[in-house]
Amino acid sequence: MAMDRDLGVAFVRAWFEAGSSPVRGWEMTAATGVRGLRLLEEGGVFGEFTFTEENREALSVLRANGGERPGARVVATDARQGVAGAPFDFVDLDPYGSPARFVPAALESVRPGGVLAVTATDLMVLAGAQPSACERRYGSRPVRGRLGPEGGLRILLAYVASEAERRGRSVRSLLGYVRDHHVRAYLEVGKYAGDPAPVGSVDPATWTGPDVGDRGPYGPLWLGALFDRALARKLRVPSSAAAPDELGRFLARVNEEVEVDVPFYYEANRLSHALGLPRPPSLDRLLAHLRARGFRAGRTHVRPEGFRTDAPRPVVERSVADLSSVH
């Protein structure tokens, strides 16, 4: 989790203006408080940070860790009930498993223009290994297979967007990503102005992007952007980072990906296998080929060999086939 926490510090430094009015934060399921304390001490923007925890054993450690730190406020409560001090500029929701039961309180506790950071670790459900559980928990039919984790991120975003609209709120994804066995997103929360969120379904019969299988239609899914371009350009590795090299590689990949922020990705080796080709082309050559034809194309953070493009699937397949035959 070190890189995730490093990224949290990088995010608050990039998004909130240091030196302006102090930012007020809340970590809903704080456990021992490691994530929130790093944000408080290393972010340089928080004047006050509230930590809530209900588990007695974790609470004792949380109080020992944060009780004496300037700006930290520790409260023993069930976060689903909210906490005194709302609304907050920044709310962090990182529970064990699904965040769904905490989302209503989170949305109601963020000021308009504030940020909700939300994590889901129930990736088996979101990524399609337990489709009936996904439909019960999130009201969505999941994508299965290698694209399942990204589909899970898009299910989570669609779910939060739906819950937000019920409360007269809107959300915009600033930084949404897949990592290891979880998905996480930083969302700007605003007042709902009547414009629906970019949420919809993917029907394999009409879908022209990467192959999503034939068990659809899938969704509802977030089909909008995962990243805010201006934010991505401002993200920097903090000097306090515990995993600076890892975070640096991640940020470099995001800055490439933000230029072609479209749903789902291809893998040249998988395409080559599906097309019966003897070998996949070089990814660098394939990206250059697609760009030369006027399409956007770039690597994705989700898989080292994955790439996104706005080229239709037949064009991508033809390009792979053409380049595969060239030594």
Residue 104 in any domain: the answer is yes
pLDDT tens digits, one per residue of 232-277 = 999 999 999 999 999 999 999 999 999 999 999 999 999 999 999 9
* Predicted pLDDT at 324: 86
Residue 251 in any domain: the answer is no
Q: Say whether both 157 and 104 belong to one domain.
A: yes
Q: Say whether both 84 and 143 belong to one domain.
A: yes
What is the DSSP annotation of 87-153?
A: SEEEEEE--SS--GGGHHHHHHTEEEEEEEEEEE--HHHHTTSSHHHHHHHHS-BPP-STTHHHHHH
Q: What is the residue range of 305's domain?
A: 265-324
* Predicted pLDDT at 79: 96
Percent of the chain with pLDDT over 90: 93
How distant, in Å, are the alpha carbons of 203, 213, 232, 258 from that of 261? 20, 21, 12, 5
pLDDT tens digits, one per residue of 27-64 = 999 999 999 999 999 999 999 999 999 999 999 999 99
pLDDT average, residue stretch 97-117: 97
* Predicted pLDDT at 326: 65
pLDDT average, residue stretch 10-24: 89
Domain at 280, CATH number: 3.30.56.70
Alpha carbons 253 and 263: distance in angstroms, whole number: 16
pLDDT average, residue stretch 5-23: 91
Q: Say whether both 176 and 270 belong to one domain.
A: no
| pTM of the complete model beyond 0.75 | yes
pLDDT average, residue stretch 121-129: 96
Confidence of residue 231 (pLDDT cuts 50, 70, 90): very high
CB 73 within 8 A of CB 51: yes
Q: Say whether both 232 and 314 belong to one domain.
A: no
Q: Say whether both 219 and 308 belong to one domain.
A: no
Residue 67 has pLDDT above 80, yes or no: no
Number of domains in the chain: 2
Q: Say whether both 174 and 43 belong to one domain.
A: yes
pLDDT average, residue stretch 141-156: 97
Residue 327 has pLDDT above 60, yes or no: no
Query: Quick check: helix, strand or coil at residue 88?
Result: strand
Task: Name, in order, each residue with C-beta under 8 angstroms of 47's C-beta and a sequence gap of 6 or more.
Answer: 21, 22, 23, 24, 71
Q: Say whether both 270 and 223 belong to one domain.
A: no
Residue 290 has pLDDT above 70, yes or no: yes
Confidence of residue 19 (pLDDT cuts 50, 70, 90): low
* Predicted pLDDT at 68: 81
CB 27 within 8 A of CB 51: yes
* Predicted pLDDT at 325: 75
| Sheet order of strands, 23-27 included | 72-76, 46-53, 23-27, 88-93, 110-120, 182-191, 169-179
Query: Structure tokens of 213?
Result: 């299988």
Q: What is the mean pLDDT of the chain?
A: 95
Q: Say whether both 187 and 229 belong to one domain.
A: yes
pLDDT average, residue stretch 90-117: 97
Angle between helices 34-43 and 2-15 (to 10 degrees): 40
Alpha carbons 308 and 326: distance in angstroms, whole number: 22
Percent of the chain with pLDDT over 70: 99
Alpha carbons 23 and 94: distance in angstroms, whole number: 19
Q: Say whether both 181 and 229 belong to one domain.
A: yes
DSSP 80: G
Q: Say whether both 193 and 277 belong to one domain.
A: no
Residue 163 has pLDDT above 80, yes or no: yes
Domain at 98, CATH number: 3.40.50.150
